């Protein structure tokens, strides 16, 4: 099976063609500022979904809430003015909750005139079809859950060229309506007016563009929210169409998978006692065999990567292998990995996977930090942390494993704060990281979602995937899952009953089918949602999931298959090292903080960007054919999803290619 390819995208490519220079000065044309106006009625999930898409891509926008007291009136002066003798549109696109949401008709009139004058496009986020938007009244309406809509040839040739065509609508809970829609039929063309379908189902239109004169609006006749896969798949195309392919911000689909504890042993779940020895079993007599990869598992991993063109990041603990070699004279797993050392990306997980936060007191449950005479936590020392980092690196060098010295994930993300027992970082972690040159420090996104500084290092939050660290078979996975997610009456722990605000109890899974039938599709959907948010946070699992029944691979295969079914070849998954993911998170955060200080506009076929604070890189997306450089000889940016995009430092001027959206 072939998964989405991983491509190296070049930053610049030189072309041989020359661009003609203007022969005479001309009066400046209209200036279009690169910012979107989002208008909400205060309760529209569809508008919130569009705002979330703009946020995820880094597209600047102003939000006007029609329900807010004292909100600005939508007038000509609000929408436009004059700069340097040229008319200026303050917005390049407009998002509305419906086709005409204003209580004051004068506001709608001002907006429509503005859109006609500057050719500014509008998205009407959820519309009941009427002739006012070029559609006949609907003959039916209802749930769209479980249906698959199709993008038209026009859509796939334009703003939605990054999708293959089929757009499945989620049906997560058959008893609960999730998406309501009004499939409609376009009316025949009238004078100067035309409706072009973009998304259809059963021969009826769910989305399309109504053009009347110089005014165009994308009309959506179905409900949506920001968490639905179908909206996230369509979201970037809506942004592209709205902005005519020219906007600040960048969109990518990131997916990297870290495998922790390589070379170590992972404790195994006890289905009889519903606990894990060495972790949470209160009876010390409970034992289970540890889980550790074998040479055959290495071969399987190499083959899987090659067949799917998808590399895995192996976060290793050399201490276990070192101990096995000392005690037994050799480690077959180490030998197997050394033979395939160049097939993986290697990264430091510390030598022994020991806890690097406070010294733990296990005489109480749950454990607590030991305290000194002053009542302060007793921390693992700087010297000990430094040795755990550096000694694992030294061991790897001796085995021929190449790694990036500035990357580190500690065992269990220890040393970083963990609530409730350790509400602060071990202060020695920042010092040891600086001592050893660590700049990127993996954290758990489920506990510490935002990137933050740890001394001179930055965290890279990682999403945990559903596969537990303490299972090697599908039946074990289903059994532990049942313990967590079923009620006491059904034999579970009742955790779901005690925490209804964050968990829902389920019917017990069949141990023989529960993993593939329930857990895999559910976690694949959650993972795909992360991918579709322009989110560079990596995902992580454990070496136990690559051992025995190798339950990791069905999950990854489902994610890759679901992605590949939606996206065209021009939108490959971006699979990169943690340091690159961390750098992207840092760029995104810097841009969010600085975006309001930047001036960017399109005028006379040129994009001009200025005003970014020192060191801040500005993300820019433009159509194919856009050029830069003194003589416009350099093709701008990276090619992705049928567009060109890149981060820019300092002032920039681009000559924009012809948009086809």
Q: Assess whether 277 and 157 both reside in one domain.
A: no
Beta bridge partners of 454: 457
Dihedral angle sign, alpha carbons of residues 92, 97, 98, 100: negative
Classify residue 308: in a domain, yes or no. Answer: yes
Query: Which pLDDT tens digit goes with each residue over 103-126?
Result: 999 999 999 999 999 999 999 999
- Choose the final residue of a domain: 180, 215, 245: 245
Q: Assess whether 651 and 539 both reside in one domain.
A: no
Which residues have CB under 8 Å from 500's CB, separation 6+? Answer: none
Q: Which residues of 628-652 are buried (b: 16+ CB within 10 A; e: fewer)?
A: beeebebbbbbebbbbbbbbbeeeb
Rg (CA), the chain: 28
User: Is residue 264 predicted with pLDDT exceeding 80?
Assistant: yes
| Helices 552-566, 520-531: inter-axial angle, 10-degree rounding | 50
Classify residue 590: in a domain, yes or no. Answer: no
Q: Assess whether 278 and 223 both reside in one domain.
A: no
Give residue 365's pLDDT band: very low, low, confident or very high (50, 70, 90). Answer: confident
Q: What is the mean pLDDT of the chain?
A: 95
Q: Taking Cα atoms as reference points, which of 471, 436, 481, 476 lies closest to residue 456?
A: 436
Q: Could you give the CA distance from residue 275 to residue 102 in angstroms, rounded to a whole number?
A: 59
pLDDT for 15 equals 38
Q: Assess whether 15 and 113 both reside in one domain.
A: no
What mean pLDDT do residues 255-276 have? 98
- Choose the final residue of a domain: 193, 224, 245: 245
Burial of 455 (0-12, 13-18, 19+ CB in 10 A): middle
For residue 569, what are the CA distances in angstroms to 5, 168, 330, 632? 8, 19, 45, 28
Q: Assess whether 218 and 69 both reside in one domain.
A: yes
Query: Which pLDDT tens digit goes with each residue over 606-645?
Result: 999 999 999 999 999 999 999 998 888 999 999 999 999 9
Helix (H) or strand (E) holding 482, with range, is helix 474-485
Classify residue 413: in a domain, yes or no. Answer: no
Classify residue 378: in a domain, yes or no. Answer: no
Number of domains in the chain: 3
User: Which residues span the domain enclosing 561?
Assistant: 257-348+387-402+431-580
Q: Could you give the CA distance from residue 628 to residue 473 in angstroms, rounded to a whole number?
A: 55
Q: What share of the chain is helix, strand, coil (3-state, %, to 5)?
A: 30, 25, 45
Q: Taking Cα atoms as reference points, which of 66, 91, 64, 65 lies closest to residue 79?
A: 91
User: Is residue 153 predicted with pLDDT exceeding 80?
Assistant: yes
Q: Assess whether 3 and 116 both reside in one domain.
A: no
Classify residue 280: in a domain, yes or no. Answer: yes
- Choose the final residue of a domain: 214, 245, 276: 245
Query: Which pLDDT tens digit goes with each residue over 422-465?
Result: 999 999 999 999 999 999 999 999 999 999 999 999 999 999 99
Q: Assess whether 154 and 295 both reside in one domain.
A: no
Task: Check if the beta carbon of residue 613 is closer than 8 Å to that of residue 575.
Answer: no
Classify residue 497: in a domain, yes or no. Answer: yes
For residue 641, what are its two tokens?
């999803």
Classify residue 269: in a domain, yes or no. Answer: yes
Q: Assess whether 75 and 180 both reside in one domain.
A: yes
Q: Assess whether 7 and 66 both reside in one domain.
A: no
Q: Assess whether 71 and 134 both reside in one domain.
A: yes
Q: Assess whether 482 and 556 both reside in one domain.
A: yes
Classify residue 68: in a domain, yes or no. Answer: yes
Give residue 25's pLDDT band: very low, low, confident or very high (50, 70, 90). Answer: low
Which residues have CB under 8 Å from 37's CB, separation 6+? Answer: 61, 62, 64, 79, 90, 91, 93, 94, 95
CATH of the domain at 114: 3.40.50.880
Q: Assess whether 572 and 646 both reside in one domain.
A: no
Helix (H) or strand (E) holding 399, with range, is helix 382-399
């Amino acid at each position: 099976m072939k998964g989405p390819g991983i491509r190296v995208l070049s930053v610049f490519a030189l072309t041989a063609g020359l661009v003609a220079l203007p022969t005479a000065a001309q009066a400046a044309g209209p200036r279009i500022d690169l910012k979107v106006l989002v208008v909400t009625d205060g309760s529209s999930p569809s508008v919130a979904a569009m705002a979330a898409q703009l946020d995820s891509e880094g597209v600047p926008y102003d939000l006007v809430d029609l329900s807010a007291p004292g909100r600005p009136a939508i007038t000509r002066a609000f929408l436009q003015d004059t700069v340097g003798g040229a008319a200026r549109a303050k917005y390049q696109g407009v998002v509305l909750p419906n086709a005409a949401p204003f209580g004051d008709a004068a506001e709608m009139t001002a907006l429509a005139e503005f859109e006609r004058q500057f050719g500014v496009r509008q998205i009407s986020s959820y519309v009941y079809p009427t002739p006012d938007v070029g559609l006949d009244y609907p003959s039916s309406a209802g749930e769209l859950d479980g249906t698959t809509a199709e993008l038209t040839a026009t859509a796939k040739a334009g703003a939605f060229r990054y999708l293959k065509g089929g757009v499945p609508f989620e049906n997560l809970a058959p008893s609960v309506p999730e998406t309501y829609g009004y499939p409609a039929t376009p009316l025949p063309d009238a004078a100067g007016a035309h409706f072009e379908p973009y998304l259809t189902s059963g021969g009826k239109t769910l989305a399309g563009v109504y053009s009347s004169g110089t005014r165009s609006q994308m009309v959506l006749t179905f409900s949506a929210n920001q968490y639905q896969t179908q909206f996230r798949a369509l979201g970037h195309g809506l942004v592209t169409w709205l902005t005519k392919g020219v906007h600040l911000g960048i969109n990518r689909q990131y997916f990297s998978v870290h495998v922790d504890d390589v070379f170590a042993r992972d404790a195994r779940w006890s289905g009889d006692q519903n606990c894990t020895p060495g972790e949470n079993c209160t009876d010390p007599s409970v034992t289970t065999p540890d889980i550790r990869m074998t040479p055959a598992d290495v071969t399987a991993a190499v083959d899987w990567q090659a067949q799917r063109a998808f590399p895995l990041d192996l976060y290793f603990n050399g201490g276990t292998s070192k101990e096995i070699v000392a005690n037994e004279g050799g480690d077959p797993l180490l030998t197997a990995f050394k033979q395939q050392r160049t097939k993986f990306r290697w990264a430091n997980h510390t030598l022994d996977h020991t806890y690097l936060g406070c010294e733990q007191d296990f005489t109480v449950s749950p454990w607590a930090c030991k305290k000194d005479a002053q009542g302060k936590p007793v921390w693992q020392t700087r010297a000990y942390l430094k040795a755990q980092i550096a000694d694992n690196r030294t061991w790897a060098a001796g085995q021929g494993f190449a790694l990036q010295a500035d990357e580190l994930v500690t065992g269990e993300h220890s040393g970083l704060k963990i609530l409730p027992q350790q509400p602060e970082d071990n202060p020695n972690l920042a010092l040891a990281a600086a001592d050893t040159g660590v700049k990127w420090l993996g954290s758990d996104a489920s506990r510490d979602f935002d990137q933050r500084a740890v001394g001179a290092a930055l965290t890279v939050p990682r999403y945990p995937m559903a596969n537990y660290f303490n299972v090697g078979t599908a039946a074990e996975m289903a059994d532990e899952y049942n313990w967590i997610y079923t009620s006491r009456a059904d034999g579970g722990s009742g955790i779901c009953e005690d925490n209804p605000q964050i968990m829902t109890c389920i019917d017990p899974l069949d141990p023989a089918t529960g993993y593939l039938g329930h857990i895999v599709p559910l976690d694949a959907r959650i993972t795909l949602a992360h991918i579709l948010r322009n989110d560079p946070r990596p995902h992580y699992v454990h070496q136990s999931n690559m051992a025995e029944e190798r339950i990791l691979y069905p999950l990854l295969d489902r994610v890759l298959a679901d992605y590949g079914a939606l996206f065209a070849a021009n939108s490959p998954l971006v699979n990169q090292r943690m340091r690159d993911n961390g750098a992207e998170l840092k760029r995104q955060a810097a841009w969010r903080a600085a975006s309001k200080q930047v001036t960017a506009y399109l005028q006379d076929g040129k994009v001009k960007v200025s005003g970014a604070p020192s060191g801040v890189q500005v993300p820019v997306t433009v159509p194919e054919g856009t050029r830069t450089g003194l003589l416009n000889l350099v093709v701008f940016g990276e090619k992705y999803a049928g567009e060109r995009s890149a981060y820019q430092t300092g002032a920039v001027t681009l000559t924009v290619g012809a948009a086809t959206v």
